[in-house]
C-alpha cells in the first residue's frame, strides 16, 4: 500500500460515526425501556408490534424494535421456568414474521 492509501484508510467519516452513535443511543434507550416494563406490558408491546407488522410490513424502525423486544423476551424466557407456551409461540411468531419480510 502507498502512504496515501494508508492515510486514507485511517480517516473516519464523521457523518457515519454520528449515525452509528445515534443508532447506538436509540438502541440503548429502547433496551432500557423494555427492561423496565413488566412482563405483561412487554407482552402487550409484542402483540402491538405483531399487529403493526401485519398492517404495515417491516420497516427499519419496526425491525429494530422487534430485535430489541426479541432480545428482552429471550432473556426473560430463558431466566424463567414454567412460562406458558403461548409466550414462546408469540416470540416465535414475531421472529417468523421478521424473517419473511
Over residues 59-75, the pLDDT tens digits come to: 888 888 888 998 898 88
The grid coordinates of residue 17 equal 460515526
Query: Average pLDDT, stretch 47-63?
Result: 87
pLDDT of 38? 92
* Domain range list for the chain: 3-100
Query: Average pLDDT, stretch 76-91?
Result: 69
- The span from the CA of 33 to the CA of 25, in Å, is 12
Q: What are phi and psi of 65, to 5 degrees?
A: -65, -40
Query: Average pLDDT, stretch 90-101?
Result: 77
Distances 54 to 34, 57, 78, 90, 101 between C-alpha atoms, Å: 21, 6, 27, 14, 10
- pTM score over 0.95: no
Cα torsion angle, 49, 53, 55, 59, sign: positive
Amino acid at each position: 500500500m502507498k502512504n496515501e492509501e494508508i492515510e486514507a484508510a485511517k480517516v473516519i467519516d464523521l457523518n457515519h460515526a454520528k449515525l452509528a452513535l445515534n443508532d447506538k443511543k436509540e438502541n440503548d434507550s429502547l433496551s432500557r425501556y423494555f427492561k423496565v416494563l413488566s412482563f405483561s406490558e412487554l407482552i402487550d408491546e409484542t402483540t402491538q408490534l405483531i399487529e403493526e407488522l401485519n398492517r404495515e410490513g417491516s420497516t427499519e424502525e419496526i425491525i429494530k424494535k422487534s430485535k430489541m423486544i426479541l432480545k428482552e423476551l429471550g432473556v426473560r424466557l430463558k431466566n424463567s421456568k414454567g412460562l406458558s407456551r403461548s409466550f414462546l409461540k408469540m416470540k416465535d411468531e414475531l421472529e417468523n414474521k421478521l424473517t419473511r419480510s
